[in-house]
């Protein structure tokens, strides 16, 4: 959160399951600071209650684990294309 408060990010990749706080909770805190930054939530549990909780904070993309570098590049390109339009 400190880094997110200190600077602007073009996009954020956020794991859903993390120690200390969930990705859903962190997503809500990110939205409090920046409601426009694209967030990509990565998870091995796409049908989880945590993912449902994250939805209340606004739109995001989901990447299901496992994924490879080509998947990451595709998501980044898609976000760039959306912002260029």
What's the pLDDT tens digit per position in 64-74? Answer: 999 999 999 99
Distance of alpha carbon 68 from alpha carbon 75, whole angstroms: 11
pLDDT at 85: 67
Instruction: For residue 77, give the CATH number of its domain.
Output: 3.40.50.2300
pLDDT digits (tens, 9 = 90+) for 15-62: 999 999 999 999 999 999 999 999 999 999 888 898 999 999 988 999
- Model pTM score: 0.86
Domain span holding position 51? 2-84
Task: Give the Cα separation of 20 and 70 in Å (integer).
Answer: 30
Return the pLDDT at 48. Answer: 87
**Domains in the chain, number:** 1
Q: What does the pLDDT read at residue 46?
A: 82
Mean pLDDT of the region 71-80: 92
pLDDT band per the 50, 70, 90 thresholds, residue 4:
confident
d(CA 43, CA 53): 14
Give SS3 for 67.
Answer: coil
End-to-end CA, the chain: 30
């Amino acid at each position: 959160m400190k880094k997110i408060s200190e600077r602007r990010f073009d996009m954020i990749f956020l794991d859903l399951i993390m120690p200390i706080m969930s990705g859903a909770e962190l997503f809500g805190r990110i939205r409090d600071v920046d409601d426009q930054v694209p967030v990509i939530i990565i998870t091995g549990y796409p049908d989880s209650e945590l993912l449902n909780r994250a939805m209340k904070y606004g739109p995001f993309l989901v990447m299901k684990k496992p994924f490879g570098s080509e998947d990451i590049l595709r998501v980044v390109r898609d976000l760039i294309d959306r912002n260029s339009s």
